[in-house]
Amino acid sequence: MGHARDTMNRLTETLFSRDMDALKELYAADAVLETPDQGQVRGRDAIVAYVGEFIAAFPDASYETAYEHESGDDAIDEGFFVGTHTGPLVGPDGESIAPTGKSVRMRACDVASIRDGLVTNHRFYFDQMDFLEQLGLLPDQ
């Protein structure tokens, strides 16, 4: 296992253990997170705040790994985010979405670029429509 894979594994473990202080230490000060719902999130404090809000909305969240890849300074995870929406969720418009009590199992992909043992660029990919549908938040067709 290379340095990128090791860092990505620590990042995933730390995130789902909900240790936000330790999570912050895995990102470079000027790291950038690319998200499907909030666009670019810049700086480790803002990144940890973003993922912290998401984890707070799904306090039982876990990650099911499907595939792990590494190429040079990049690590890629494919898998499923699993959790129950029991806390408020901040929507793309900044409004709070009340807990639905619904469970989700959402396919996700993360790509992280690592430099000197720290994440410098992290990209989250997930299907927002599938996510909203599982939460029962889409209008009836």
CB within 8 Å of 44: residues ≥ 6 apart: 24, 27, 28, 29, 31
Do 43 and 24 contact (CB within 8 A), yes or no? no
The residue-averaged pLDDT of 54-75 equals 96
Architecture of the domain whose range is 3-134: Roll (3.10)
The residue-averaged pLDDT of 58-69 equals 96
Residue 112, pLDDT above cutoff 90:
yes
Residue 96, pLDDT above cutoff 80:
yes
The residue-averaged pLDDT of 15-19 equals 95
Describe the chain by its helix, strand, coil percentages, rounded to 5.
Answer: 30, 45, 30
Domain layout of the chain by residue ranges: 3-134
**141: confidence class by pLDDT, cuts 50, 70, 90:** low
126-139 pLDDT per residue, tens: 998 999 999 999 88
